[in-house]
Amino acid sequence: MNSIAEMAGRLLDDRQEFILATIVSRHGSTPRMAGTRMIICGDRRAMGTIGGGLLEAQVVQKATEVLSSRRPVVVPFDMTHSEVAAMDLICGGRLEVLLEPIDPGSPAAAVFKSWRDAQRTSEPGLFLTVLRFAGEKVEGIDHCLFKNQSKVCGDLHLSPAAVEKLLRDHCSAAWLRTVTLEGSLILIEPLLPAETVSFSGPATSRDLRLGWRPSSGFACGSWTTGRSSPMPNVFRKRKRCGSPRTSTPP
């Protein structure tokens, strides 16, 4: 189960609005990979993590502004060596974070609930997020869920040929990837069954909060997670907002 999808579904069931923060690009050494998400509620509670420290604090602060304006934004963070100590991180790369307000009464709410429900089945599928830009600003965001290459919920401002190409080229994706198509940045997240990974040491409260759960009672063994994205970074450098964007697996 994707913990972010589950938490988003619960909040929408309770008619609560929230901000979905998503790393949409990264270059160099950063605390999390592109596609990592967290949720910020109206009371500033954060669910999930995109890296912690001052980076996350700044994202939460900006999220409160987005909740007021109800306009999505992409915020750049430059964690250069001169800023690493202040950011409380050992990384020195750059990343961009999409802050998207999700309202329970919006068309996106139905797609997010379907995304949550789709995590509970074993059928393959894709959860697509399409960012449309006007210069440096986010003009609009579309969400759409596909299962077995058929649309389940949502709409995309893309041509039928573009949608067909996305499904053909990425139907067997095993990790989250980003592509540029018809001037839009598209996040492609596959629906995958739970994974088992090795670990050493006890589970922490933060691990459990993120959806990682021990599959045995021993200190060393395996964890099961519903995360859709793999742990290794598979993204390469792309140009900044307003410029062509692309990301491909190795």
22 contacts 98 by C-beta, under 8 angstroms? yes
Ranges of each domain in the chain: 3-102, 113-191, 195-225
Other C-beta atoms within 10 Å of 59: how many? 21
Two structure tokens written together for 159:
């041509």
By the 10 Å C-beta count (0-12 exposed, 13-18 middle, 19+ buried), 74 is classed as buried
Q: From CA 188, how far away is CA 46, in angstroms rounded?
A: 24
DSSP 120-138: TS---EEEEEEEEEETTEE
**Which H or E run includes 226?**
none
- With a pLDDT cut of 90, the percent of the chain lying above it is 50
Answer whether 39's CB lies under 8 Å from 46's CB: yes
* pLDDT, tens digit, 9 for 90 and up, residues 32-68: 677 889 999 999 999 998 877 788 889 999 999 999 9
Separation of alpha carbons 226 and 215, rounded Å: 13
C-alpha dist (Å) from residue 1 to 54, 79, 105: 29, 31, 24
pLDDT tens track for 106-149: 999 999 999 999 988 888 899 999 999 998 899 999 999 999 88
Name 227's bridge partners.
none
Between 102 and 25, the more confident residue is 102
* pLDDT of 182 over the 70 cut: yes
Average pLDDT score, the chain: 77
pTM over 0.85: no
pLDDT digits (tens, 9 = 90+) for 218-246: 333 333 344 333 333 323 333 333 333 33
| Euclidean distance between CA atoms 154 and 147, whole angstroms | 12
